[in-house]
Structure 1
């Protein structure tokens, strides 16, 4: 049997039943699921001792039948877990889930639904859209195939290997960054992440330029920003107060803010090396710079930035940057 499309509503009880029936990981037991604004999963992990856990999750984008899930909070034995420990715990716990197509990177989980559907006998499906609404998960499902007679036929519909990137690809910068952090005296380690913001953003731009998921137009924008960063010529006019002293950083933040509006957030996150959320960091930085410099100077600043992108879709870049720089002087927010 084959259905071209269907609207599906899934309750917390449905999800719990599916997890108990098809997700078999030694020592792991799911206790309950609550669906409201977020999805809260409670369970027990037995590994020499009983460890109660609770995780608050949010659904993200779905592309090529790969669902992105954001981890907002994790509690173990009723204790909130700090970021670094949380990431380590998730990595250890979820490593057993890779055979189900479930991978974790920092606060993000990727669920390969093609791989997961192999674990559900006789069924293949592709999810086009998914949302949390009124205590249910509502999904638009395409290409639903159900057959008890020919399981191999269904599995042939599923790719055995997908060419998608799980997080960023390790490169020399990753190793150098870790080595540098390990060599720092303990008293300076709290300042490490702050000191690495500019190098991290520069490497992020370089990785985005190499990323096959970025189209030619946006690669041109990335190339323009990188060209300015490495250029010895200072294009920011001296008559703009304050900006002349932070132009490199400002260029990176305003340029990244433009890229974020054009590129899926998950692509940005996958290539980001730093600890903090790069999306929030960029937006806060743009707002802060705008509030200090003022509306008129921002307009001049945006005009100067446009010169970087001559030959790189200049007209479109100027329009987008002007939209970003519509500053409300009373609230100091960018609309």
Structure 2
């Protein structure tokens, strides 16, 4: 299957935004920069209402409906291998990085937490866990619902129903909530990009204005609460706006050095996602132990160091077959 360049760019640039957002989130939760708490809160909100919704939609863009019930078990097996093995890899890696951090870790992960990942994910691994649930749920629906509009409608309804449900079962709540955004990405894969981009400037301005209005409302009435990825309020509508903004802009960007750089990195977005969080934690702990208190240095070193180290890890995982198995197992397992 030929790679879609703008989709690779979307993955690469969006994972970079995830990393930047987590730099600020880690600094905020560290307790070492209380003077910047409100600034961090605003910056984090801007990143968080955008990057993960866009990632779910980009994943949905590549979704292929399951032909029939006979094909579904093989589909489940493939999705489980491709998502649960990286999920396990992240959880184990994060656990050991936290143990190395010792008392410097603000909210440690216990062995009990690691053993309970079948029902409660650790840190940012929740995305892989929920994406697995969404993939299985939407895949099953696609056996019976072949029309993309109907599939989007059903998942949008179940997403809305997740708001009052507030299920204590993490996977159920996450699957219901994010299936709509995932199927929005799948629906947009059937829409002509040229048609979508008609009156591009006006559309981008309107969507940007609506997002700005939401942020203004949030600052005035809900500033203490950050975005929730399981029980969102008005953010749910903003997630949809963010997806449309990304799908309007990403395919229209000129294929210059900036575009090509992130398009190349998008091929390793899963590996970067798995390792960037423990890498950022290690950098932050090291800087604090060295007595570095400058907010600007933490931001610059966190972003640059976290990105470059994550890229180096991605390089190793792409080059060494033994390591590559853990992030792309179905390349080596024949069905």
Same fold (TM over 0.5): no
Answer with 1 or 2: which has the greater Rg: 1
TM-score range, shorter chain: under 0.3
Length-normalised TM-score, structure 1: 0.24
Structure with bigger RCO (C-alpha 8 Å, 6+ apart): 2
Q: Return the structure number with greater strand share.
A: 1
